[in-house]
Amino acid sequence: MCKAVETNEYRNLFAEYGFDDVEIQNRMKDIYNTIFYGEEGEKFYYDSGDDMGFVTDTGNNDVRSEGQSYAMMAAVQMNDKELFDRIWKWTKTYMWMDYGIHAGYFAWSVGLDGVKNSHGPAPDGEEFMAMALFFASNRWGDGEGIFNYSQEARDILSACLHNPHPMWNPDNKLIKFVPELEFSDPSYHCPHFYELFALWANEEDRAFWKEAALASREYLKIACHPVTGLNAEYANYDGTPNTTRNGFHMFFSDSYRVAINIGLDNVWYGGNEGLSKAMERQQEFFCVTNPGELNYFTYEIDGTRNERPVLHPVALIATNAAASLAASGKNARECVDKFWTTPLRTGDRRYYDNFLYLFCFMALSGNYRVYK
């Protein structure tokens, strides 16, 4: 398997399946423009003052470190420096914490007025911010102050490891759900990011990030069920569902992101047979074992159906398609076709679904890339 990080050649799975490349590229731009520059009721990005901006979690009416970091990644991938700088300045101004037990981290939830709803962080925000900042540095060059992108990225990663409440367990090298709890969220695991952190983080931390990449790949193998390929939203360090928080032991909203993370890792760094098989099992589960149910139900990771409805059906369709970047089974094409015919989500829950829709479309069209 070729490694795109070495060859700079990225699979365009849509084109491989016969879709018109001009239509693919135009549609990707339309998705991005709808999210950030579309009509009211479509977009969820908003300018703030002369030089800042934020994205709203439309289902919860707040600003999240997750969403800001996603917006930064989308902007750098689409070469939209003005938007990137606006979002980053708002994030550093209102979300960053410079005192207390979480100094160096970003508050996971902030009001639309910039007032922190919580002084706790969520590690997926930090890892996406750091990766987006490194890409910004490599694509546009470093500026001054907070726009010295690479230095800001290194500072974030240093805090993640050296804060008295680290975001990664120093022994098993696995990312935590939050710094104070000793369990993980499988969808936080981005080994393709950690490989790059091992090149660009502070020198004393580079060996850790290399080990973290290997540890995350092994963790995802055991977090994905051996029959269904499904993973829990929160999981223990041995991969089993974590039951300390009611309802989060299921294959639910966070869980969907595992598929795109595995797909991207496969494109950027080459195949991992165990993870590819997991994605083939997941697609088999939705295409063959439970055809037609992708939009409706939630599941235990062994496939037992719950009556609790899916909260983000479009996100699930999108990420199940992104699994095709790792899966080579008979269901890969069906999942991509279903995604292609699924429109962006509308309504109050569009934030999460449409961000994952954008990332999956970027990945499947060969436009989610490493900038080095």
**Domain co-membership, 203 together with 272:** yes
Residues 38 and 159 in one domain: no
Percentage above 70 pLDDT, the chain: 99
- CA 1 to CA 332: how far, in whole Å? 17
72 close to 131: Cβ distance less than 8 angstroms: no
The whole-number pLDDT of residue 295 equals 63
Contact by Cβ (8 Å): 72, 132? yes
Do 39 and 61 sit in the same domain of this protein? no
Is the predicted pLDDT of residue 340 greater than 70, yes or no? yes
Average pLDDT over residues 92-117: 98
Last residue of a domain, one of 167, 196, 223: 167
> 18 and 162: one domain?
no
Determine the pLDDT at residue 247.
83
Radius of gyration, CA atoms only, the chain: 19
Region 201-229: mean pLDDT is 98
Question: Is residue 4 in some structural domain?
Answer: yes
Q: Among the three residues 120, 138, 167, which one is the final residue of a domain in this structure? A: 167
The residue-averaged pLDDT of 355-360 equals: 98
Residue where the block lists tokens 């925000």 = 125
Q: Are residues 370 and 282 in the same domain?
A: yes
Please say whether the beta carbons of 302 and 227 come within 8 A: yes
pLDDT digits (tens, 9 = 90+) for 72-90: 999 999 999 999 999 999 9
**Confidence category of residue 293, pLDDT binned at 50, 70, 90:** low
Q: 130 with 153: CB under 8 angstroms? A: yes
Do the domain assignments include residue 172?
no
| Shared-domain flag, residues 211 and 325 | yes
Percent of the chain topping pLDDT 90: 94
Whether residue 197 is found in the same domain as residue 342:
yes
- Which residues are known catalytic residues? 66, 254
Is residue 144 located within the same domain as residue 292? no
If asked whether residues 202 and 349 sit together in one domain, one would say yes
CATH number of the domain bearing residue 240: 1.50.10.10
Q: State the residue for tokens 């139900």.
A: 297
Band of residue 291 on the pLDDT scale cut at 50, 70, 90? confident
Q: Which of 173-177, 233-237, 308-312 has the lowest mean pLDDT?
A: 308-312
Per-residue buried b or exposed e for 257-285, using 16+ beta carbons within 10 Å of the residue's own CB: bbbbbbbbbbbbbeebeebbbbbbbbbbb
How sure is the predictor about 353, in pLDDT bands with cuts at 50, 70 and 90? very high
Q: What is the pLDDT of residues 250-290, one digit of tens each?
A: 999 999 999 999 999 999 999 899 999 999 999 999 999 98
Same structural domain, 293 and 328: yes
pTM score of the predicted model: 0.98
- Domain end, chosen from 167, 195, 216, is at 167
Does residue 66 sit in the same domain as residue 160? Answer: yes
Question: Per-residue pLDDT tens for 114-154?
Answer: 999 999 999 999 999 999 999 999 999 999 999 999 999 99
Higher pLDDT, 294 or 73: 73
Return d(Cα 279, Cα 281) in angstroms, integer: 5
In total, the chain counts a number of residues equal to 372
What is the domain extent for residue 271?
Answer: 1-43+185-372
pLDDT above 60 (res 181):
yes
Is the domain of 191 the same as that of 145?
no
pLDDT band at 1 (very low <50, low <70, confident <90, very high): low
pLDDT above 90: residue 292: no
Tell me the average pLDDT of the chain: 97
**What domain count does the chain have?**
2
Which are the contacts of 337, defined by CB distance < 8 A and separation ≥ 6? Answer: 17
What gap in Å lies between CA 292 and CA 304, rounded to an integer? 16
Burial letters 15-26, b for 16+ CB under 10 A, else e? eeeebeeeebbe
Does 216 fall in a domain? yes
Asked whether 70 and 112 are in contact (CB, 8 A), the reply is: no
